[in-house]
Structure formats: structure tokens, C-alpha cells
Amino acid sequence: MKWARRTTSARDRPSIAAGVIPPLLPTLVDRVPQGPDWLHEIKWDGYRIGVYLDKGKVKILTRNLHDWTVRFPTIVAAVAELDATDAIIDGEAFVADDKGLSHFSSLQRALGRGGRRQDIMLAVFDLLKIDGEDLRDRPLVDRRKALVNLLGETPPNGIVLSDEISGGSDILAQVCQFGFEGIVSKLRVSPYRSGRRQEWVKTKCVLSDEFIVIGYEPGNSYGGLGSVLLANVEDGNLVFAGGVGTGFNARTGTDMIRRLKATEAEKSTIPGLKVKGAIWTRPEIVVDVEYRGWTEDHQLRHPSFKGIREDRSVDEFL
């Protein structure tokens, strides 16, 4: 039985306006590809964004094309300084700690109520358009050269270039040892094509993925939260993936239980699914979860909550 969606209506979902380019999304793989054809970069732990510069005005879209310009004042100011009439830049919004590491939880705090949005920076890794010229058909290495030229010797404060990193067969181990999330590897000759592609792949130090919330088990934490029940999508069907009850704190746990109660439903979205004591919700919340693998009955092993993906919608999973 296919999952009958009840999420946002077509009029609520952002349409793809003229000139807007949905992002190229890397495919998750188990091993870092080897050989001179591949270029490797650090995997930034933040929000993927497209940055649009047009005659000094800057617009920022999330990867599901919501306008979040007002949430990134430092990035807006930095991009406005670039020496270009118009440009489309692909990058990641992030917050760095004192060691230069990016953390998704830090970005969420900065975006939250009373957060320091001025701390949010932009890691840039691709340039899709510059001064009226569409670069998407050109090889990645050429687009990166154009990006470096655009940034100049000293990029504006708030922008960093996602540098190429080098290493042998143990490059992932080296990256993990430094505390980064993983590696994104890209074919040097690849053009830019929107959607999930094999020309870009990602490998992670710790397994993590995005899941759809379908309910919760009540508990004694954060106003009644025990664990959050999760599902992923396989061949258009929602499939139960178990629950996550760790990784919450006073802020994220309280926010989660508030959202859960606002989306409660009479029955499970997955037909026939029974979890004793569960309270079901409409499938409207997407969360990021770290885990150590899968059990034989297709449930997450040692999951830990990382955050709510405000930049994702359930519709993207189909």
C-alpha cells in the first residue's frame, strides 16, 4: 500500500521560479572513491543553501527552495561585497566552534529565538552562474577556478572556500580523527545537474540520515517526551525505523514535544503498525538522527537525535 501523503498542499510548496537552480545532492556511499578523477572536500555540518546575487541584492534559498534570506544577515552582507553583477553560488550555512569545526546543533541555536545569527557563515564550493554566464555545463574544476577568482585573495568576512583536501586510502580516518562529519567527493569533470547524483558522493564518520516523525512514546522528560518514532521511505512507502530517545536537551526536547502535540493524529500513518502506548502524529516533521547501524528487524541501532530539519519537507522524500 502506497503512502497517501497529507503534508503541504501544492500551493504551499515553493515553485521553481525562473532562474532558480535546485541543488545537486551527493549520494551516500560506504567508501571514499579513490583515484585522480575525484576531488575531495570536508563535509560541512549545516544547511545547504543557494545564494543568488543580482545587482547588489542577495537572496538565499534552502535546498527545498524556501526563502531564508532574513535568517542569514552575515552571509547577505558578505555576498553583497563580491565583485560581480550577478552570481549563483552553491554552499553551506554553518557555525564554527573555536577549532573551526561546524556543528549542526550550533547552527540551530544560532537560528533559534535569541540566537546569534551573525555567527552564521557560508562555506562555498560551487559557482553556477557569474555575470550572465551559465557555468553548469563546464567541468567542476573550471567552476571552482571561477569561484576562486570571484572570492579574490581575501574573501569577504563571513565567507570561506571549501578547500580541496588530499590523502591516501585512509583519508576518511584522518578527517574523522580531526572531528569533521565526513567527506564529499566529486568527479573533477562533472557538470552541475540538479537532483541526487552519482557524480558527487558523501561518506560519513558516523552514520546519520533524515527521518520522518510519525509519532512518539510519552515519558517524563521535557514536558512528556519519551522517544520519537521514526520512518523512512522505501519505494514510496513509509517504513518504520524505530524510535530515538537520546540526544535531546531542555531546548530541543521542549520544542519537539510542542511540535508533536500540535501534529497528533488518531492512527498511525503506516497501516497496521502497533507500538504499545504510542501517540501517532501526522508525517510533517523531518529530523536528523545519528546511528550505528540497523537491527535485523530494520530498526536503528543506538540512534541519537541531532536536530529538526527546518530546511526539509516530507514531500522531498518521494
Q: Active-site residues: which are they?
A: 43
**Cα 62 to Cα 312: distance, rounded to the nearest angstrom:** 8
Residue 289 three-state SS:
strand
| CA-to-CA dists, residue 226 to 119, 160, 241, 275, 277, angstroms | 33, 40, 16, 13, 11
Burial 195-207 (b: 16+ CB within 10 A, else e): eebebbbbbbbeb
Output DSSP code: residue 276. Answer: T
Output the CA torsion 243→245→249→255 (10° steps).
40
- 63 close to 93: Cβ distance less than 8 angstroms: no
**Cα 112 to Cα 108: distance, rounded to the nearest angstrom:** 6
**157 backbone dihedrals φ, ψ, rounded to 5°:** -60, 125
**173 backbone dihedrals φ, ψ, rounded to 5°:** -60, -40
